Amino acid sequence: MLLIYTAVSDVKKGVNKLNKAEKTQVISELQDKFAKAKGVVFTDYRGLNVEELTDLRISLRAEALEYRVVKNTLAKIATEGTSIEAAKDSFNGPVGIAIGFDDPVLLIKKVLDFNKSNDKLEIKGGVIEGSLCSVDQIKAISKLPSREVQLSMLVGAMQAPASKMAGLLNATLSQFIYALEALKTTKTE
């Protein structure tokens, strides 16, 4: 009971606000994440309850993605010197940030999948590999295959000429051997 009373009185006094050291730590963490990020999607989370936000975080975390809600002023400061700086103007109103470090297409697909099941989450835009993207561009990117599929398609395209060349050489060599065999049989007769 005392613990609950203390928490309520601390909130009334404004103790729950971040001090300067905590703000500096949040900014440096965000700058580090923004510098490493291949994709960032900005969302408006108004209307989502805690359970729904937790479901979003869990679904993203399962794919090594992250979702954070931070103060806009701290996020704007953290974008300086990163590829996310182009999106500084996106930090208006309540903004949730989904961050992907490896595959930006996977990040977009996961956020849009959650958006399909819960229309309260609104996509505001994003930055994909340093380029500022609108909502329509993000939806178009979501239709691309994942990074692994794209890489396998590239490898397949690169292997196709080599395998055709090997088949062609093998066929030519086989035909030459058959011709030699035919010549040998005609000379022995």
Same domain, 120 and 140: yes
At which of 144, 163, 179 does a domain end?
144
Q: Are 62 and 40 in contact (CB under 8 A)?
A: no
Pair 110, 160 in one domain: no
Range 121-137 average pLDDT: 89
CATH of the domain at 27: 3.30.70.1730
Q: Please state, for a pLDDT cut of 90, what percent of the chain lies above it.
A: 20
Chain segment 153-180, per-residue pLDDT in tens: 777 777 667 666 666 667 666 676 776 6
pLDDT band at 66 (very low <50, low <70, confident <90, very high): very high
Range of the domain at 176: 145-189
| Residue 169: partners with Cβ closer than 8 Å, 6 or more residues away | none
Q: How many domains does the chain have?
A: 2
Are 166 and 104 found together in one domain? no
Tell whether 73 and 161 lie within a shared domain: no
pTM of the predicted protein model: 0.68
Whether residues 158 and 137 share a domain: the answer is no
